[in-house]
């Protein structure tokens, strides 16, 4: 059953890739927030609160339906902590009913054997859990020691793909932890990814010392087919800005809990249009709009989505978004947050 579901998922991924290549007029990936509240309070995070209510399920259904109408291929649920939403599985099922892929980013704390079975039932395609360290500290409790049992349950029961993400750079306390976490992920049969983050000063610096050595080892794991590290990440590890065309607002959409479309979590306010009023003209405009923050951006998922179109359609409309250190700082926070 597990193998059959994964083969079906592989076929669907292939179809979505082909669709993404054939037409530039629809979003490839939309990240949507069903719940801003979080059960944790990581020291670096600006993406959560401890009071907000779940977005009403009917409202989420309207947003999902609109994303389907725009031709979106993949919908990612994140937060906050999306597992806190009481109807999360219904929302995932709605995404699948609308013929889109459903993926989830979670801190994993609320994962139980029962919840994994419910997620199987809902049709979830892919889960990402980010782990910051081996043992909890005052900054982050997203720790291998706390989550390991849940990872074992996932390895045993999940019919969806699981990726474990970790981070390097930005003054992370114990860079060696990234290798321990990546090895454990591989041992359990999961894929792994590693995010390169900027220094706290907002300066783009190459990885050095232990972090560099760890990066190389994790990269070698990747060569065995498990770890997703691309040229974009390598440039960040080398401290080199990337030359690419960010297609946020077009091929990638970030939908906040208020239902507004933003470039990404750290460029909120651009364009700031309600999703239910978003049109193909908005998509075309943003597709052709150059983003000032692109060279120093560490948001790997937007880069991956934009790679579909890097070879075509130069961006001819005005530069938008935060620039310089302000952008780098904001994006650093995003990178850590997206690793949850």
Site residues for ligand SF4 per CB under 6 A: 38, 40-42, 45, 47-48, 79-81, 107, 246, 248, 263-264, 266-267, 291, 293-294, 297, 299, 302, 321, 331, 337, 340
CB of residue 219 vs ligand SF4: minimum separation in angstroms?
A: 23
Q: Is the peptide bond before 80 cis (omega within 30 degrees of 0)?
A: yes
CB of residue 165 vs ligand SF4: minimum separation in angstroms?
A: 11
- Using the CB atoms, write b or e for 258-279: b if 16+ within 10 Å: ebbbbbbbbbeebbebebeebe
Of 277 and 326, which CB lies nearer to ligand SF4 in the complex structure? 326
In the structure encoding, which two tokens stand for residue 322, read together? 């935060």
CB of residue 14 vs ligand SF4: minimum separation in angstroms?
A: 25
Residue pair 182/142 in contact (Cβ under 8 Å)? The answer is no
Place of tokens 């932890």: 177
Of 75 and 221, which CB lies nearer to ligand SF4 in the complex structure? 75
Q: Which 3 state secondary structure label does DSSP give 92?
A: helix
Of 33 and 182, which CB lies nearer to ligand SF4 in the complex structure? 33
Residue pair 273/279 in contact (Cβ under 8 Å)? The answer is no
CB of residue 225 vs ligand SF4: minimum separation in angstroms?
A: 27
Q: Please give the helix or strand (H or E) that residue 97 lies within, else none.
A: helix 88-97
CB of residue 96 vs ligand SF4: minimum separation in angstroms?
A: 24
CB of residue 261 vs ligand SF4: minimum separation in angstroms?
A: 12
Of 65 and 199, which CB lies nearer to ligand SF4 in the complex structure? 199
Cβ atoms < 10 Å from Cβ of 19: 14
CB of residue 299 vs ligand SF4: minimum separation in angstroms?
A: 4
Of 178 and 264, which CB lies nearer to ligand SF4 in the complex structure? 264
In the structure encoding, which two tokens stand for residue 161, read together? 């793909």
DSSP string, 162-206: EEEEEEEETT-S-THHHHHHHHHHHHTT-EEEEEEE--TTS----
Of 80 and 123, which CB lies nearer to ligand SF4 in the complex structure? 80
Of 221 and 339, which CB lies nearer to ligand SF4 in the complex structure? 339
Nearest to 148 by CA among 128, 172, 131, 127: 131
Task: To the nearest 10°, report the CA torsion of 282, 284, 289, 295.
Answer: 110
Name the residue with the smallest CB distance to ligand SF4.
340
């Amino acid at each position: 059953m597990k193998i059959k579901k994964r083969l079906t998922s592989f076929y669907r991924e292939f179809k979505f890739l082909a669709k993404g290549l054939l037409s530039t007029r629809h979003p490839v990936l939309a990240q949507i927030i069903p719940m801003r509240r979080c059960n944790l309070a990581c020291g670096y995070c600006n993406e959560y609160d401890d009071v907000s209510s779940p977005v009403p399920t009917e409202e989420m259904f309207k947003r999902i339906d609109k994303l389907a109408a725009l031709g979106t291929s993949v919908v990612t649920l994140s937060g906050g902590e999306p597992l806190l939403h009481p109807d999360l599985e219904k929302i995932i099922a709605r995404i699948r009913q609308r013929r889109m892929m459903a993926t989830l980013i979670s801190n994993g704390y609320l994962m139980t054997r029962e919840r994994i079975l419910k997620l199987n039932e809902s049709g979830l395609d892919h889960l990402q859990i980010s782990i910051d360290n081996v043992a909890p500290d005052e900054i982050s409790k997203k720790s291998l020691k706390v989550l390991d049992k849940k990872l074992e349950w996932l390895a045993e029961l999940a019919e969806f793909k699981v990726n474990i993400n970790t981070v390097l750079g930005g003054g992370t306390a114990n860079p060696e932890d990234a290798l321990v976490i990546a090895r454990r992920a591989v041992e359990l049969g999961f894929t792994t990814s590693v995010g390169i983050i900027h220094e706290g000063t907002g300066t783009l610096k190459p990885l050095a010392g232990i972090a560099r050595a760890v990066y190389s080892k994790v990269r070698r794991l990747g060569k065995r087919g498990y770890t997703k590290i691309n040229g974009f990440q390598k440039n960040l590890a080398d401290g080199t800005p990337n030359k690419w065309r960010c297609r946020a607002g077009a091929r990638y959409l970030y939908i906040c809990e208020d239902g507004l479309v933003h470039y990404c979590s750290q460029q909120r306010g651009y364009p700031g249009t309600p999703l239910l009023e978003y049109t193909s003209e908005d998509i075309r405009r943003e597709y052709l709009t150059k983003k000032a923050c692109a060279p120093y951006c560490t948001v790997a998922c937007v880069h991956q989505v934009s790679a579909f179109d890097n070879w075509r359609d130069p961006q001819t409309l005005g530069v938008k978004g935060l620039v310089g250190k302000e952008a780098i700082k904001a994006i650093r926070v995003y990178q850590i947050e997206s690793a949850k």
